[in-house]
Structure formats: C-alpha cells, structure tokens
Structure 1
Amino acid sequence: MPAALDHNFAKRLNGTHIKNAATRWDMVKQLREDIRNFKAANNCDRIVVLWAASTEIYIPMSEEHKSLASLEKAMKDNNTEVISPSMCYAYAAIAEGAPFIMGAPNLCVDIPAMWEFSKKQNIPIAGKDFKSGQTLMKTVLAPMFKTRMLGVSGWFSTNILGNRDGEVLDQPENFKTKEVSKLSVIDNIFEPEKFPDLYGDVYHKVRINYYPPRKDNKEAWDNIDIFGWMGYPMEIKVNFLCRDSILAAPIALDLVIFSDLAMRAGMCGIQTWLSFFCKSPMHDFEHQPVHDLFQQWRMVKETLRNMVGETAPSYLD
C-alpha cells in the first residue's frame, strides 16, 4: 500500500510509492481505509499498528498539539509544519481501534492531543524510540554508577551505522530528534540535583555518523570518565558491535504482543509499563519517565502479575 510520506520530514528519502493527499486530514482518511482493508483481507479480529519507519525532523510541541480539537483542526487546515506523517498514522490507528506503538523518537503520539484521543477511544499507546543498542547500555551502566556512588565527569557516545536509518540521521534536522531522545537518559537516572558532587557537571555528547559500508551493522562506542573515592579518575570504554534489525525485531514483536494484551485487559492511554523497550518513554506532564532498565523491568513484571492476580515474591527469610 502507498506510504504517507512528506519529503520535508525526511529529506534524504525520495519515496515513489506514496499517497496523494490534498490535506493531512485526507491522508488520515486514506490510512484508516488501509487499516480496514488490511484487517478484512487478512481476516483479523484485532490488529496493532507499529511505526518502525525513519526518524522525522525535530518539531517542538505547539498549541495545535495540546488538544484533540486543535489537532483535528490543524489536520483539516493542512498545517504541514506541525502535523507530521507519523501523527497521521497514529491518529488513524487510534480512530480504527488499534493500539499504536511509536518505534522512532518522533513527537507523533507523545502529545496531549493523542493522549486525550487514546483515552477517549480506550486504546493503548506506547513508545517511543526502540531501546536496542547504545542507550540500552547506558540504562544498565548508569544505574550501576549511581548505586555504587561512582561519580561521572563525562560521557562521550558516537555511533557508526550504514543503513537507511543512518542515511536519514545524517541530515541535521533529523539527527536533532534522535539526539534529544538519547541525551535525556542519564540525567534522569543520575538525579544531579540530589547528587551534585557526583553528577552535577556531567559533559554528555552524542554523535551519529553515517558510514554506508556498515550496512545494517552498527557500532556504538562510548568513553566514560568516572571518578571514585577521593576523586581518583578512571575510564571505561564500551565498544558495542551489533546488528540494528536483529536487536530491534524482538522489541517490536514484544511491544505488539503486550500492546494487544493491554487492549484485551481494558487498558488505555500511555502504557508506562512498556518503558522497558523504549529509549524515550512517553509520560504525561504529571510524571517523570523511568529510564533505569532494572526499574523498568520491575514495572513489566508487576503489571503482568497484577493482570493475573499474583503478588510479588518475597525474598525475606
């Protein structure tokens, strides 16, 4: 089926099999029809829609994103500066009663208008940005540093990848979206306001380099400058050579299964318990996201136990 693509949101992509829609609202109508046709053609009782396409350019949250009414008006007015193609996919999925998962760092479903719509339609939403490589390592190492009270003065991260994702992220406007997602992790874990001597002045740098010969292989390289007792400096080097799709595919499958489970369990809105799979977990304005991988895993297990009426095991003698 033709894709909903706007070249302005991913300038490195030149799609040929794309939808011809006069407005964003028309784009939504076409996507809703695609969902209905797919469901009928494949004899599906339930479906889940997952976005695993390219990172769109960075757009800040605007007034049009703050309520469902203003979002729909912007779609009908064809305000292409604030309504991205991925927002059309999210709206269409929710409107058709399908849980929606955002696998990229796009603003998309992570706006008050979509939160409102998902609750109105009783639909689960999850995301955003699959946590598969370098950030996965950060959410393991940073909790260890904090638990052992090891200070961190700097964390330099660079990535080398050669697939279409790397090509899109080679565009500065698209890299900005990914950078915001990657940079948010360690501050949340370290809580520098509580531990200023250890984490109050961390220099955190993230870079992504497009290198075509790597194809779907990815290299994530980190240099971490830490310090211990009496301020003695130490260094940690991490070189993670991996395959992007091999890491991301199981995440996508788990998110589809769990989102469908959430739907069947009557859960709607932001599924914070699925933060375990996400680099930049969605959250409303009243809560802070959890980035610590081990706390995230505890959230998954507690939610599943609650669904089946079990209590957490006690390890006290």
Structure 2
Amino acid sequence: MTARNIAPATGKLGVLLPGMGAVGSTFIAGVIAARQGIHPPIGSVSQMANIRLGKRDEGRNPLIRDFVPLADLDDIVFGGWDPLSNNAMEAAKTAGVLQGSDLDALSKEMEGIVPMDAVFDQRWVSRLEGVRVKDIPNKWDQAMALIDDIAKFKEENDCDRLVMVWCGSTEAYQEPSDVHASVASFEEGLRNNHENIAPSQIYAYAALQSDVPFANGAPNLTTDLDCIIELAKQRGVPIAGKDFKTGQTLMKTILAPGLKARMLGMRGWYSTNILGNRDGEVLDAPENFKTKEVSKLGVLDGILQPEVYPDLYGNIDHVVRINYYPPRGDNKEGWDAIDIFGWLGYEMQIKVDFLCRDSILAAPIVLDLALFMDLAHRAGESGVQEWLSFYLKAPQAAGETPAEQDLFIQQTKLKNTLREWMGEEPVTHSEAG
C-alpha cells in the first residue's frame, strides 16, 4: 500500500477546551505530569499501546506514537473557556479529583493556564450559574467573539495548529430543528438569536470556521447536526462525536461482545450510577439526564443486533439511572444487574460494581482525541472521523450504516486506519493486537 501524505507535526499544538472542570483540569494535570516525568500517561492508547505490523513472525510491534507522526506532548499548549474557574489549578482543586500532593508539583504551570470567558446559557445547564461569561447577548456575535479568541490564542501562544475538544457539561435534551438543516439556516439562526442553538453548537461553528478540528466529549446534539457536518466538509476539517466512553458504558462495550460471541441470550440490563461531581449535579436535572440517557441506551442494540438475533436479544429491558450523591464526588459508582439465559432457556445473572474515577478515565481520551484529530487534519481528512468511535459512547457514522459499537471491532478499525495511512496492510479483527 502507498502511505498517506501526512504533513509533519512541527511546531506547537494548541488544545482548546470548552470547559475546564473536572475532566479538563485532570487532562491538563496528567499531560504536565507525563512530560515532567512524574507519571506515565496511563490509559492513553496513543502513548502507551503497541500496534502489530506486517506478518506475525516478523515480530514488529512498535508503540503507536513511534509509528505514527503524532504531536509530541512537549509541544502541547493548553487553552479554553470556563464559566466558573479562574485558572486550571483552581478548577482542579474545586473538582477534587486529584490530591493536593499530586497537584503541588504542577501548580505553577496550571495556575498560568487561564481560561477565557465562556459562551454560556443557563437555559442549557440549569444547575450551574456562570460567572465568567461573555456579556454578549446575540449568538452571531458570540460566535464571532469565539473566532477572535481562537485567533488571538493561536497568535499569542505561537501555535502552528489547534484542535478543540468539548469537555463542558451535558446540555439539556433537544431534537434537531429547521435551524440545523444547513449552514445557511444555522447562520441565519445565529443572527436571529434562535432559541434552539445551544452553546456547544456555537463553539463547534467557531472552531470549524477557524479550521480547527472539533471533537464532542458530551452527549450534546452538536457534531451530529446536518449544518455542522456540512460545514466540516466545506472547510475540510475533521469532526468526531459524541460522549466520552468511560466507566459504565466502557464495561458494557467490553462485556456485551463477549456474551454475544458465546451466543448467550439476554433478558435485561439494569444500570444505575451514583456520582457527586459537577457532572452529577448537572445530570440531576431531568432535561440534562435525558440527553445522557439517550447516549447510554443506544450502546447495547448496536452491539447485540436484536434485528439479527431476535431470539437472543429481541426483547431486552435496558434501564439506565443516574443519581446525584454529593459525598461520592468524582468517584462514580456504576452498578449493573445483567439477566442472561443459556441452554434450554435457563436463567443466570451477572453483577458488576465498578467503583471508578470518572475524570481519570476521561482524561486520556481527551489526549488521544486531540492528537488523533490533529493527525487526521494533517492527513487531509475532513468530516466525520468514524475510526475514532473507540472513544465514544454514541459514535457518529460517516455514512448511512450505523457506527460500530463493539469495543474490539472499534479498536481494529482505529489501528487499521493508522496502518493504512502509514502504508501498511490492514489486519483482521483476530490479528489486530
């Protein structure tokens, strides 16, 4: 195969985060710790994983970062917007994900990372009150202000390239409307202050108009809008969405493929979560929970294919609950009760209790999406990057066929994309490694 002509990763890469709360500040702290040699970037596929090349007996198995021309961690510059925190250090202390002793060595650099005033509308996150917010009522003017922010950040930090990863809160549930049908209708809606345009959509518009790749880490209706997809193709910019695949959904995409591989049937899957961070507070509002619920509920059907296996998976009761419980903080607990059946219809149960740290699982996803989106842009990619479905709860499809939900097939697709871009032959799922 012929290798893709990929521009080199020269100069600085600015990573812009709309939202510097628990996930954003933990991501920043982890990257700084890694480049200071304090701790390796565990959980980051781009930094820690190997990729098998050629025939098995050739024994070539380099790290992905040594195989693909990714930006170096030392070249990353952090920026973004936040409606609450004065700097990344304050955000990290407020979130309470990391212990004070772990932050001490990072404090000087993190205190210097000051977010810009945010485009924020409490209608979309009713449980939060923004205090560092742009005093600009019109949405078109808000978009122009973000475009100015992006250009100013790039110039002041001498960045060669930029990427944007949404790390903000889950917005209230919405369906696409006429204002989202095209770039023209969206721009008209911005000028007319249309009520159905959410802040995340304004950030995505500003990023694409600035030729900045945009990844959506929340279940918001953003990159999956016709107008944003159209604009990404027009501008030749990659997009990816949506919703970081962390605790409970990560477990589902690991366990469900195993049950399907053995052709074991399923009666139901009950999931409940307790968490006490800002995300939990926001999701305590019914209109915001519905957005997350839709993202979480779509996972099993995509993996188990009930239309193909009706006798095994055609009548599953799939229930998801999220409960705000302040004492737990960022240390989310995900409980799953799975009712399965086997030979002669005899019933069995699986219980999973995952005591996870939500932001610790999400932070390396932010890093990988930023680096791989930058790579895609340098490789001439535009539009939906379906090969990054590995990281997302509700992955966006590039075509008419729904995106794959099986974690292991997603892993193969990710690595095969990298192989093909570098001129290597793709491998089968069983050979992927």
Give the shorter-chain TM-score range.
Answer: over 0.9
Q: Residue 118 of structure 1 aligns with which residue?
A: 232
TM-aligned CA distance change 1:70 to 1:313, over 3 Å: closer
User: 2:385, 2:398 within 8 Å by CA — same for their partners in 1?
Assistant: no
Q: Residue 150 of structure 2 aligns with which residue?
A: 35
Q: Residue 58 of structure 1 aligns with which residue?
A: 173
For the pair 1:296 / 2:410, whether they are aligned, the reply is yes
Q: Residue 71 of structure 1 aligns with which residue?
A: 186
Aligned residue type for 1:207: R
For the pair 1:10 / 2:148, whether they are aligned, the reply is no
**Equivalent position to 2:344, from 215, 225, 230:** 230
User: 2:276, 2:330 within 8 Å by CA — same for their partners in 1?
Assistant: yes
For the pair 1:306 / 2:426, whether they are aligned, the reply is no
Q: Residue 212 of structure 2 aligns with which residue?
A: 98
- Aligned equivalents of 1:290 and 1:186: distance in 2? 11
* Unpaired runs of at least 5, structure 1: none
Alpha-carbon deviation of 1:110?
1.1
Q: Residue 218 of structure 1 aligns with which residue?
A: 332
What SS does the aligned partner of 2:130 have?
coil
For the pair 1:267 / 2:381, whether they are aligned, the reply is yes
Alpha-carbon deviation of 1:284?
5.0
What is the CA deviation profile of residues 157-189 of structure 1, one whole-angstrom value per residue up to 9, with x for unaligned ones?
A: 000111000000000000000000000010111
What is the CA deviation profile of residues 124-159 of structure 1, one whole-angstrom value per residue up to 9, with x for unaligned ones?
A: 001110001100111111111111110000100000
TM-aligned CA distance change 1:97 to 1:167, over 3 Å: same
What is the CA deviation profile of residues 45-66 of structure 1, one whole-angstrom value per residue up to 9, with x for unaligned ones?
A: 1010111010000010112112
User: 2:162, 2:213 within 8 Å by CA — same for their partners in 1?
Assistant: yes
- Aligned equivalents of 2:400 and 2:192: distance in 1? 31
Q: Give 1:190-269 correspondences, 5 Å limit.
A: 190-269=304-383
Q: Residue 112 of structure 2 aligns with which residue?
A: none
- Aligned equivalents of 2:302 and 2:348: distance in 1? 23
Aligned residue type for 1:115: I
**Equivalent position to 1:153, from 267, 292, 308:** 267
- Aligned equivalents of 2:427 and 2:267: distance in 1? 38
What SS does the aligned partner of 1:4 have?
coil
What SS does the aligned partner of 2:420 have?
helix
Aligned residue type for 1:5: F
Aligned residue type for 1:218: K
Q: Residue 45 of structure 1 aligns with which residue?
A: 160
- Aligned equivalents of 1:102 and 1:287: distance in 2? 20
What SS does the aligned partner of 1:125 have?
strand
The count of residues paired between Structure 1 and Structure 2 equals 315
- Aligned equivalents of 1:25 and 1:306: distance in 2? 40
- Aligned equivalents of 2:315 and 2:398: distance in 1? 27
What SS does the aligned partner of 1:217 have?
coil
Cα RMSD of the aligned pairs, angstroms, is: 1.2
User: 2:284, 2:322 within 8 Å by CA — same for their partners in 1?
Assistant: yes
For the pair 1:139 / 2:260, whether they are aligned, the reply is no
Alpha-carbon deviation of 1:289?
1.5
TM-score normalised according to structure 2 size? 0.72
Aligned residue type for 2:150: I
For the pair 1:130 / 2:244, whether they are aligned, the reply is yes
What is the CA deviation profile of residues 225-275 of structure 1, one whole-angstrom value per residue up to 9, with x for unaligned ones?
A: 000011000000000001111100000000000000000000000000000
- Aligned equivalents of 2:160 and 2:346: distance in 1? 61
Alpha-carbon deviation of 1:287?
2.1
Aligned residue type for 2:155: A
Aligned residue type for 1:152: M
What is the CA deviation profile of residues 30-74 of structure 1, one whole-angstrom value per residue up to 9, with x for unaligned ones?
A: 111111111111110101011101000001011211211111111
- Aligned equivalents of 2:178 and 2:208: distance in 1? 21
Aligned residue type for 1:30: A
What SS does the aligned partner of 2:417 have?
helix
- Aligned equivalents of 1:171 and 1:285: distance in 2? 33
* Unpaired runs of at least 5, structure 2: 1-115
Q: Residue 41 of structure 2 aligns with which residue?
A: none
TM-score normalised according to structure 1 size? 0.97
What SS does the aligned partner of 1:7 have?
coil
Alpha-carbon deviation of 1:76?
0.9
